[in-house]
C-alpha cells in the first residue's frame, strides 16, 4: 500500500487501503456513521466495502441519484434532512463512497452540517481517485454554474482502492484520464512523455499512474490549499471545459466532466500557443494525443453562446479580467491574465 501524506490527512492507495480504513475506524470513536452513495456505487461498491470493513454495517446508508444534474443544493437539503432525522451529531462521520459528484457533495454537506463534521472519501471512479477526492475542495453547482457554492474542507482520510474500477465503464475511465493528462501537462514533463506513449493502451490506468497523479496534485495542494496562486494551475482546461460542461448540461446534452476538460485543454493550449507559452510542435502533440482518446465535440451557436456566458463566471477571473491557467511549456504553469473573448473565439474556430 502507498501512503501519501497531505496537509492534515493521508491518502491510502492499494488493496490494503481497506485495512487502513479499518484501523482508522477502530481508533476514532464516532457516535454514528452515515454512508453516502449513489445507485451505482450502492450496487457495485458497497457490498465489497461492507465485506472488508464490517464495522460499516452499522452505517446509515444515504443513497442519492447519480449524475452531475443532482449535484445541487436540493440534494444537500435531502442529505441534511436525513442526517437530522437520524440524529446525526457533531461526532458523526460521513463516508463518501462514489465518484466526484458524491465526494464533492458529501464533503460540502459534512463541512456545513452543525458547522462541520468529519468525513472521509472512498473514491470509486478514476476521476475521483486521481483528483476530486484529494485536496479538500467541496461543493455543488448552482444556477447551472459549476461548483459555484462550496467550501475548502479537508477529509480525515482518503482510501483509494483500484478494485472499484473493475466495474467502471471504459467511457468513465477515459473521463478520469483527462485529469491525469492535465496534471502531467502543468506539473511534470517527464510524466507527460510517459503517458503520451500510451494512446493505444486499452485501459488508461494502473496503480502506479494513480499514485503518481495523486502525488503531483497533493504536492500542489500542500503548497497552496486555498488557491491563492499555484493551485490555480489545476484549473488548466477548466475555464473553457467547465463552460462547455455547464452549457451542454443546460441543453440536456450528454457530456462527462473529463470529456469537457479534454476539449478545454485543446482550446486553452491553442491560446497558450498564441501567447508563445508552448511551441507549435508541443501544441500539435497535445491536440493529437487528446483527439486520439476523446470524441470530437460538436458545437452549435447556442452552445457557444452559453459557453461565453459561463466563461465570464469563472472563479479565476478578477476585476473583469479573464484569467486562464495555462502551461508555460509542457509540464510547467503560469497564470495568464487579460485574455480577450476574441482570442477564445479564434481558438474555438480553430478547433
Ligand atoms: N473537488 C475537486 O477537486 C474536483 C476535481 C475534479 C472534478 N471534480 C468533480 O467531479 C465530478 C465528476 O466526477 P465523476 O466523473 O467521478 O462523476 P460521478 O460521480 O457522476 O461518477 C460517474 C458515474 O460513475 C458511476 N460510478 C461510480 N463509481 C462506479 C464504479 N466503481 N462502478 C460503476 N459505476 C460507478 C456513478 O454512479 C456515475 O454514474 C464533477 O462534478 C467535477 O466537478 C471535483
Query: Does the beta carbon of 227 sit less than 6 angstroms from any atom of ligand 1?
Result: no
Please name the residues in contact with 300: beta carbons below 8 A apart, sequence gap of 6 or more: none
- For residue range 20-62, what is the model confidence (pLDDT) as tens digits? 999 999 997 899 999 999 999 999 999 999 999 999 999 999 9
pLDDT of amino acid 203: 61
Instruction: Specify which residues 321 forms β-bridges with.
Output: 318
Atom 10 (ligand 1) nearest CA: 100
Which of 270, 282, 297 lies closest to 331, judged by CA? Answer: 282
Q: Residue 244 pLDDT more than 90?
A: yes
- What is the arithmetic mean of pLDDT over 128-140? 98
| CA 272 – CA 45 distance, rounded (Å) | 40
* C-alpha cell, 330: 509542457
Sign of CA dihedral 134, 214, 100, 24: negative
Beta-bridge mates of residue 4: 11
Q: CA–CA separation, 46 vs 61, rounded Å?
A: 10
Q: Note the pTM of the prediction, 2 decimals.
A: 0.96
Ligand 1, atom 13: closest residue by C-alpha: 100
What average pLDDT does range 301-319 have in this prediction? Answer: 83
- The secondary structure of 33-98 as a DSSP string is EEEEEEHHHHHHTHHHHHHH-GGGGGSEEEEE--SGGG-SHHHHHHHHHHHHHTT--TTEEEEEEE
CA 180/CA 131 separation, integer angstroms: 8
DSSP secondary structure letters along 322-337: --EEEESSTT-EEEE-
Q: Best mutation site among 99, 107, 256 for ligand 1, i.e. most ligand atoms within 8 A of its Cβ?
A: 99
Query: Is residue 100 within 6 Å of ligand 1 at its C-beta?
Result: yes
Residues 283-294 have a mean pLDDT of 95
Q: Residue 201: pLDDT band by 50, 70, 90 thresholds?
A: low
What is the rounded average pLDDT for all residues in the chain? 94
3-state secondary structure of 261: helix
- Give the residue, by CA position, lying nearest to ligand 1 atom 34: 168
10 closest CA partner among 268, 211, 237: 211
Using a 6 Å cutoff on CB, does residue 41 contact ligand 1? yes
Angle, alpha carbons 4-42-22 (nearest 5°): 40
- Higher pLDDT residue, 298 or 42? 42
Q: Of the residues 145, 150, 172, which should be mutated to test ligand 1's pocket, given the most ligand atoms within 8 Å of the CB?
A: 172
pLDDT band per the 50, 70, 90 thresholds, residue 318: confident
Residue 141 host element (H or E): strand 137-142
Say yes or no: CB of residue 155 within 6 Å of ligand 1. Answer: no
- Provide the 8-state DSSP code for 295: P
Q: Quick check: CB of 124 below 6 Å from ligand 1?
A: yes
> Is the distance from the beta carbon of residue 71 to the nearest atom of ligand 1 less than 6 Å?
yes
From atom 3 of ligand 1, which residue's Cα is the shortest distance away?
132
Which residues share a beta bridge with 5? 10
Cβ–ligand 1 distance for 131 under 6 Å, the answer yes
Pairwise CA distance, residues 60 & 82, whole Å? 9
The pLDDT score that the predictor gives to residue 315 is: 66
What's the burial of 254, exposed, middle or buried (CB within 10 Å: 0-12/13-18/19+)? exposed
Domains and CATH numbers, the chain: 2-167 (3.40.50.1970), 172-201+226-350 (1.20.1090.10)
Q: Is 47 close to ligand 1, i.e. is its CB under 6 Å away?
A: no
Supply the pLDDT for residue 199: 60
Rounded to 10 degrees, what is the CA torsion of 297, 303, 308, 310? -90
The neighbouring-strand residues paired with 34 are 60, 94
Can you tell me the distance from the alpha carbon of 200 to that of 251, in angstroms, rounded to the nearest whole number?
33
Backbone angles phi, psi at 140, to 5 degrees: -135, 165
Pairing assessment for the beta strands 145-152 and 137-142 based on DSSP bridges: antiparallel
The preferred substitution site among 44, 69, 96, 127 for testing ligand 1, maximizing ligand atoms within 8 Å of CB, is: 127
What atom in ligand 1 is closest to the CA of residue 38? 37
Q: Are residues 104 and 135 in contact, defined by beta-carbon separation less than 8 angstroms?
A: no
Interacting residues of 27 by C-beta distance below 8 A, sequence separation 6+: none
**Distance from the alpha carbon of residue 346 to the mean position of ligand 1, in angstroms:** 32
Whose C-alpha lies nearest to ligand 1, atom 41?
A: 101
Amino acid at each position: 500500500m502507498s501512503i501519501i501524506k497531505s496537509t492534515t490527512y493521508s491518502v491510502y492507495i492499494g488493496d490494503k487501503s481497506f485495512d487502513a480504513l479499518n484501523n482508522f475506524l477502530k481508533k476514532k470513536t464516532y457516535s454514528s456513521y452515515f454512508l453516502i452513495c449513489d445507485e451505482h456505487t450502492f450496487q457495485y461498491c458497497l457490498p465489497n466495502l461492507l465485506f472488508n470493513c464490517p464495522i460499516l454495517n452499522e452505517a446509515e446508508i444515504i443513497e442519492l441519484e447519480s449524475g452531475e444534474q443532482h449535484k445541487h443544493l436540493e440534494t444537500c437539503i435531502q442529505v441534511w434532512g436525513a442526517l437530522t432525522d437520524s440524529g446525526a451529531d457533531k461526532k458523526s462521520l460521513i463516508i463518501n463512497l462514489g465518484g466526484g459528484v458524491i465526494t464533492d457533495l458529501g464533503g460540502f454537506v459534512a463541512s456545513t452540517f452543525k458547522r462541520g463534521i468529519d468525513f472521509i472519501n472512498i473514491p470509486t471512479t478514476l476521476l475521483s481517485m486521481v483528483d476530486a477526492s484529494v485536496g479538500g475542495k467541496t461543493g455543488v453547482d448552482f444556477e447551472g454554474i459549476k461548483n459555484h457554492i462550496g467550501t475548502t474542507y479537508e477529509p480525515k482520510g482518503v482510501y483509494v482502492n483500484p478494485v472499484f474500477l473493475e466495474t467502471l465503464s471504459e467511457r468513465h475511465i477515459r473521463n478520469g484520464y483527462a485529469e491525469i493528462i492535465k496534471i502531467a501537462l502543468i506539473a511534470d514533463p517527464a510524466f507527460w512523455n510517459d503517458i503520451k506513449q500510451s494512446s493505444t493502451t486499452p485501459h488508461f490506468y494502473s496503480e502506479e499512474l494513480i499514485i503518481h497523479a495523486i502525488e503531483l496534485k497533493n504536492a500542489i495542494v500542500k503548497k497552496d490549499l486555498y488557491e491563492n496562486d499555484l493551485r490555480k494551475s489545476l484549473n488548466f482546461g477548466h475555464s473553457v471545459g467547465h463552460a462547455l460542461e455547464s452549457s451542454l448540461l443546460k441543453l440536456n446534452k450528454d457530456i462527462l466532466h473529463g470529456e469537457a476538460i479534454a476539449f478545454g485543454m485543446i482550446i486553452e493550449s491553442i491560446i497558450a500557443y498564441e501567447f508563445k507559452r508552448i511551441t507549435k510542435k508541443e501544441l500539435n502533440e497535445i491536440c493529437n494525443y487528446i483527439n486520439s482518446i476523446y470524441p470530437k465535440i460538436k458545437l452549435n451557436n447556442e452552445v457557444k453562446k452559453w459557453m461565453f456566458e459561463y466563461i465570464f463566471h469563472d472563479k479565476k477571473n478578477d476585476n473583469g479580467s479573464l484569467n486562464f491557467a495555462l502551461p508555460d511549456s509542457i509540464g510547467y504553469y503560469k497564470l495568464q491574465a487579460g485574455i480577450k473573448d476574441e482570442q477564445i473565439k479564434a481558438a474555438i474556430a480553430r478547433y
